[in-house]
Structure 1
């Protein structure tokens, strides 16, 4: 069977009436260290137990929200206890497909589409099939796709499995500020590019464009005098911003029309992006080819020809960043960097400068 034989229709992402509004309702179950079996909570959610080998992180190199979880898992050294399933960059309206794996199925669960894991638990699941998602390997059922809780719980609930020397990406003394910055980054930057790209009227686009660049200018100013967004080391706030910055010049600048400036034309943000990209966990989990294929092929209502651009040249990401002059360091004393990428998790399309 060819891909066309199994095509269920193009995804529809763009707004049909002006402003793009993201459906932000997720399966908000959590995996926590205070239960030994799935335990219903008073708020209607379920807490699932922390257990090595029980869950598989379903992600896609293309998706910035999934990229957050992949970076966090690698920085904390959770690769041996939470396995990683990677969907391919293109899909139809049914969403993510494990077509990068042999025979087109995820090797740990046998799932062909992530949709199956959602339907295994919620047969009439009415919302988008999103990554990242934690799936229980044995039952092949989705546990949660609540992306903020997934990464936060990797830090706070999975501590017994962190590698020696793992960083604290959510230090208690900075949590209020991290949460505040992360909210602004999410609404104005992470989602801001989508608000630009998926607007369906000039007025909605113009408003989204102004909002996006107002926050980008604020970030440029903030990062001109401090090395990281909060405190003296890398935190979740930086991870959340990175995933949009690293996609901007390759995709959002043209595809989503956020074309006032490239990141490479903004000195503070460009140095900041280069520093993060060169840290293990960031650049080595970034696949620009898959990123471009996803946006330019899947978003057919934005790019009807589905032509994937060859450029831009992103080799500047590997050049010296000079951020040391601002003080601080990526991680606190005693923190060690992740080791080699686990076998089979390397990006499939590394650029020459990622070697």
Structure 2
């Protein structure tokens, strides 16, 4: 194998490459990333398959009319996502994915790479029948779940499996602290208390993650600052315009339409809902998020005010419930004349009188 060094438009003489970098060298992933990027460029340079978006970063995130412009909207294509020696290829249809797999297989052969067919899986979302994709006459396995970059992706777009795995990992980590912390006589009381506080925080997060976040918040009548800060999408708004996360957040699919009626909420819809809950201005939040310190202080202030409002509403609701209980315990006007039974309502008294009359006749 021979190589050359190119610099400032000139190239060196070809030289032999007799050895690669050592295992664990920091240059290895960088060099392979460059090499693999060239493989993908060679494979998909003329391909048009993939996920087509139209996006526009100027204007407001929640302004739906900004994507209707003819000149200011930018088109983006999301086809392959590369990380180290793993690559994920996404398309809309089975035919498009098979075409990309054929291109990728041929490019790997051209560059001397071998695809690990047993580790390559197919995952389809919202499909009536499982897709059939083959590489060199080898049919790839279709899975319902797939772990990519440490996160579990499901074919039903559910996070239940991912949440269960994270809870299990956290529980395992806490169990390991039994001999090192809980039963360690050398730790002082303050140190043990610090770990206990962390444990209580984990328990609270676990209870929040087990069920639906919104239902849990309504049930416990408590704001979750961590969930709100995550959902407000400030990091994506500060990204460069050509980065994929911002293009997805500020864009929409070019060829697909949402279902009529009440379709599922998108990520931006959840962000807007979570902003309205603590009364954050959904029209001016991007200007506020540009200043990190000001954004954090405003978010903390609004979340605190929202918590106080929810607590006040909960107290009023509890007071009204107690008042209703006290009023129900008073003398009722819906009482049976024959047996003296309190029926609590007019329809209940009517039904009871019919039964009493039939018993009296017999």
TM-score band by shorter chain is under 0.3
**Higher strand proportion, which one?**
2
TM-score (norm 1): 0.24
**Higher helix proportion, which one?**
2
Work out which of the two has the higher radius of gyration on C-alpha atoms and give 1 or 2: 2
TM-score (norm 2): 0.24
Higher relative contact order (Cα pairs below 8 Å, separated by 6+ residues): 1
